[in-house]
Amino acid sequence: MWRRPHGIARGEPPRRPGVPAGMPPTPRTDRASAPPRRRLLRAMLAMAAAALVPATAGADSIPVTSASLATRDGEVLLSADFALSLTPALEEALDKGIPLYFTIDFELARTRFLWFAQKVAQWSITYRVSYSTLTRQYRVASGPLGQAFESLDDVERFIGRVASRPVARADELSTGSRYEAAVRMKLDVNQLPKPFQVNALASREWQLASDWHRFTFTP
């Protein structure tokens, strides 16, 4: 025959183990009762992560249409074409007087059997593109040299074409050996004003770059 435990009055619910007599039971906590601030922080972090996805998704936004190497007069010459097309956000930045910097990088490495490729040459050039509201002309400069253009289409064609640029000495390469070349173009966001660098991290329209375009070359 069941008997009521000593110390518990009739009609009183049984106490959980470890709860002293006369003390109210401790309320249960679960995820539903978690502080709202913590749930809000998780939501903000998720939104921030989602906002960065488009910026990295469009990495290859400057297609490389052609690239080749040739030797002439003791030099290795690079020719390449990029289908450069500025986004509306970049065009607006130029109109507001913000200069843009585009860099073309080139690397040449000798392939070695069962070993890492040996880099033998590298070359790069940076173009500074600006717009003058006074003359209504675009200016493209590389170092102290500059050239004016009437339209943005002309600027894109000029920057997007590499025509027989010396990138290495021919006597530095071994005749008959196989080399791997790589070329790319990118908008250098590190040279933008600080507020625009933030935009470049969060917006696809500021992520203008090509992947490394690789091809082989045998002198």
26-38: pLDDT as tens digits: 444 444 444 555 5
| 201 within some domain | yes
CB 71 within 8 A of CB 77: yes
Model pTM score: 0.70
| 148 within some domain | no
pLDDT value at position 29? 43
Greatest Cα pair distance in the chain: 111
3-state secondary structure of 70: strand
User: Which residue reads 């660098």 in tokens?
Assistant: 197
Say which CATH number the domain at 118 has.
2.60.40.10
pLDDT value at position 194? 82
| 185 within some domain | yes
pLDDT value at position 11? 52
Spans of the chain, pLDDT less than 70: 1-60, 114
| 208 within some domain | yes
Q: Which two tokens stand for residue 111?
A: 């392939």
Q: Could you list the residue range(s) of the whole structural domain that residue 112 is in?
A: 64-124+157-217
pLDDT value at position 111? 86
Domains in the chain: how many in total? Answer: 1
| 59 within some domain | no
- Cα-Cα-Cα-Cα torsion 208, 212, 218, 219, nearest 10 degrees, comes to 40
